[in-house]
Amino acid sequence: TQLLEQSPQFLSIQEGENLTVYCNSSSVFSSLQWYRQEPGEGPVLLVTVVTGGEVKKLKRLTFQFGDARKDSSLHITAAQPGDTGLYLCAGVGRGSTLGRLYFGRGTQLTVWP
């Protein structure tokens, strides 16, 4: 069973469109992270959200952590071909699971010029 459900699994859009990726769980996490992975490389951290309801912006990317700290979303405005990649959400365990990192299966985003 996957602790974090990420949707959609694949997303293919035209340059300039907006999109949202969702990351949902029934578990509470101490924080949630979003990574981006290019082919042949390791994931690279984009952002960490810690507080329930927190919103962080990174240029055209907006990240939100749910009030109950169980879910998160990534919204991209006016997508560009350079945004193409695999986006991964990861929940950080707490209490007895501190140190554990639980990844969603990822969203493969392709932005066409």
Partner 1 sequence: EAQVTQNPRYLITVTGKKLTVTCSQNMNHEYMSWYRQDPGLGLRQIYYSMNVEVTDKGDVPEGYKVSRKEKRNFPLILESPSPNQTSLYFCASSFGTSGVEQYFGPGTRLTVT
Q: Which of 45, 58, 68, 78 binds partner 1 (CB under 8 A)?
A: 45
Q: Which contacts of 68-73 are long-range, i.e. CB under 8 A and separated by 24 or more positions?
A: 68/28, 69/28, 69/29, 69/30, 69/32, 70/24, 70/25, 70/26, 70/27, 70/28, 70/29, 71/22, 71/23, 71/24, 71/25, 72/22, 72/23, 72/32, 72/34, 73/20, 73/21, 73/22, 73/23
Piece of the chain touching partner 1 by CB under 8 A; list 10-18, 56-64, 74-82, 99-107: 99-107
Site string for partner 1, 24-43 (x = CB under 8 A): ------xx-x-x----xxxx
Could you tell me how many residues of this chain bind partner 1 (CB under 8 A)?
25
Interface with partner 1 (CB under 8 A), residue from 7, 24, 48, 62:
48
Residues at the contact surface with partner 1, assessed by CB under 8 A: 2, 30-31, 33, 35, 40-45, 48, 88, 90, 92-93, 98-106
